[in-house]
């Protein structure tokens, strides 16, 4: 009886304490404050827009200072990289991002650069020498809407560096490459030399973006891939990230962020994605964890990778290009994703760009060693609804929830 009495007393005291705490919170929070939140620049629908329907209570905290409303303001926390976090607006003014692998306005590297530029970041890029002249010509002409920032201005790339990630040091550049006319007039395009040039020009790199990959035998099944083709895919697509951190890491201030791009073929079978590229992406993801540990302890920087869904970029189209009037391999991949993802809609390059922006900002200051999926949820699926084996069964289903589960839901939305 005495035990139950003590329990009852504790419960009563706890109840009184909770009620008192809620009362104090209500005293500090006006009705107009209770369900308001600052907007979040660069992340689609703003927090403010969501709070308008009463789903994000502010709970008496100022998001700018994390201090109780009514309390004396504290110095604004800017984080180790000095990014302004006032109202969750991401301000990367004064920061420098080196984006490796940008050669046009259609890929994920460009989209990442664009979103970082939207936040005020200085953009410099490393471009494969054989396409560098073509890229410079495109920049001079302008990429139209693809290069337009949120403020209406065209994205400015401060400098383009020749970069061939197959070479880590000048000694590794072979004579055939030196004699190749597509490399004529260029030098210092190995990773070490490129990093030295960036150091001389800018003194630092806050954000390192690895947006490059190459598999010379990507159209071959793994069983038909040569040793040379397999190792070339690993060298260009995985080891290059290690080499870039070796040489750019010392230029990165504490709190900097390094990001690479991977693909679901690293952990699931994707027929047609061959030549050892699936193995290279698996290596890249494994290395991300080890690099997060080593670069984190050595330089105080974060290392993450983004597993992006299919996009019809120039590189993706080249995997298996269809003939005249035919669709490309990547087009079928995109249709497959729209039919089977939890979010049945197209994936845009800017979806990946915005995720990279978050991973570069103090919003993710404690996030490292992760593989962030940006694929409308495709990675979570175990059974696809457009499978021919299940077509008869699925066609017979109707009503809730099946009307929203059918494989043509995404296509119908796009047609509306």
Known catalytic residue at 202: no
Backbone dihedral angles phi then psi of residue 258, each to the nearest 5 degrees: -120, 135
Question: Residue 224 — very low, low, confident or very high, per pLDDT cuts 50/70/90?
Answer: very high
CA atoms within 13 A on the CB side of 81: 32
pLDDT average, residue stretch 28-47: 36
Query: Which pLDDT score is estimated for 16?
Result: 45
39 pLDDT higher than 80: no
pLDDT digits 0-9 by tens, 225-248: 999 999 999 999 999 999 999 999
Q: Which range is least confidently modeled, 209-218, 250-259, 307-316, 365-374? A: 307-316
For residues 400-411, average pLDDT: 93
Residue percentage of the chain with pLDDT more than 90:
70
pLDDT in the model for residue 83: 59
Per-residue pLDDT at 86: 54
Q: What pLDDT, on the 0 to 100 scale, is given for residue 118?
A: 97
Q: Report the pLDDT value the prediction gives residue 326, as an integer from 0 to 100.
A: 84
Distance CA 411, CA 96 (A): 40
Question: Given 88, 273, 329, 332, which residue is catalytic?
Answer: 273
Average pLDDT, the chain: 83
Structure tokens at 286: 């494994």
Mean pLDDT of 24-45: 37
Contacts of 316 (CB under 8 A, 6+ apart): 310, 330
H-run or E-run covering 354 = helix 349-360
| pLDDT tens track for 148-203 | 999 999 999 999 999 999 999 999 999 999 999 999 999 999 999 999 999 999 99
| pLDDT above 80: residue 31 | no
Please list the helix, strand and coil fractions of the chain in percent, rounded to the nearest 5, in that order. 45, 10, 40
Structure tokens at 64: 């700018």
Q: How confident is the model at residue 49 (pLDDT cuts 50, 70, 90)?
A: very low
In the prediction, which pLDDT does 104 show? 93
Task: Render pLDDT for 52-93 as a digit per residue (tens, 0 to 9).
Answer: 333 333 333 333 333 333 333 333 334 445 555 456 789 999
Catalytic residue status for 263: yes
The catalytic position among 263, 329, 373, 393 is 263
DSSP code at position 146: G
In this predicted structure, the answer to whether residue 260 has a pLDDT above a threshold of 80 is yes
């Amino acid at each position: 009886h005495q035990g139950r009495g003590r329990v009852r007393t504790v419960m009563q005291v706890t109840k009184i304490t909770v009620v008192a705490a809620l009362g104090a919170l209500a005293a500090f929070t006006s009705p107009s404050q209770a369900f308001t939140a600052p907007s979040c620049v660069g992340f689609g629908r703003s927090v403010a827009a969501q709070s308008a329907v009463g789903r994000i209570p502010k709970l008496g905290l100022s998001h700018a200072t994390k201090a109780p409303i009514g309390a004396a303001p504290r110095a604004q926390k800017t984080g180790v990289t000095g990014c302004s976090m006032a109202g969750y607006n991401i301000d990367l003014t004064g920061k420098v991002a080196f984006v490796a692998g940008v050669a046009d306005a259609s890929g994920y590297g460009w989209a990442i650069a664009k979103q970082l530029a939207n936040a005020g970041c200085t953009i410099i890029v490393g471009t494969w020498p054989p396409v560098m002249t073509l890229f410079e010509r495109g920049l001079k002409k302008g990429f139209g809407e693809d290069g337009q920032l949120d403020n209406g201005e065209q994205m400015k790339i401060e400098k383009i560096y020749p970069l061939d990630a197959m070479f880590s040091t000048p000694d590794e550049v072979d004579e055939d490459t030196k004699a190749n006319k597509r490399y004529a007039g260029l030098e210092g395009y190995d990773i070490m030399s490129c990093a030295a040039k960036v150091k001389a020009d800018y003194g630092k790199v806050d954000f390192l973006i690895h947006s490059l990959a190459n598999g010379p035998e990507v159209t071959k099944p793994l069983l038909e891939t040569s040793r040379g083709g397999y190792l070339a895919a690993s060298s260009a697509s995985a080891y290059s990230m290690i080499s870039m951190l070796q040489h750019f890491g010392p230029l990165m201030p504490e709190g900097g962020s390094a990001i690479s791009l991977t693909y679901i073929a690293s952990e699931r079978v994707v027929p047609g994605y061959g030549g050892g590229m699936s193995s290279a992406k698996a290596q890249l993801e494994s290395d991300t964890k080890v690099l997060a540990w080593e670069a984190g302890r050595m330089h105080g920087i974060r290392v993450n990778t983004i597993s992006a869904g299919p996009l019809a970029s120039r590189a993706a189209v080249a995997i298996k290009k269809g003939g005249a009037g035919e669709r490309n391999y990547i087009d079928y991949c995109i249709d497959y994703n729209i039919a089977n993802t939890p979010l049945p809609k197209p994936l845009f390059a800017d979806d990946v760009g915005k995720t990279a922006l978050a991973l570069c900002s103090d919003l993710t200051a404690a996030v490292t060693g992760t593989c962030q999926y940006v694929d409308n949820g495709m990675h979570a699926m175990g059974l696809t609804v457009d499978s021919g084996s299940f077509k008869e069964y699925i066609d017979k289903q109707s009503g809730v929830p099946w009307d929203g589960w059918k494989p043509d839901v995404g296509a119908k939305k796009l047609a509306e």
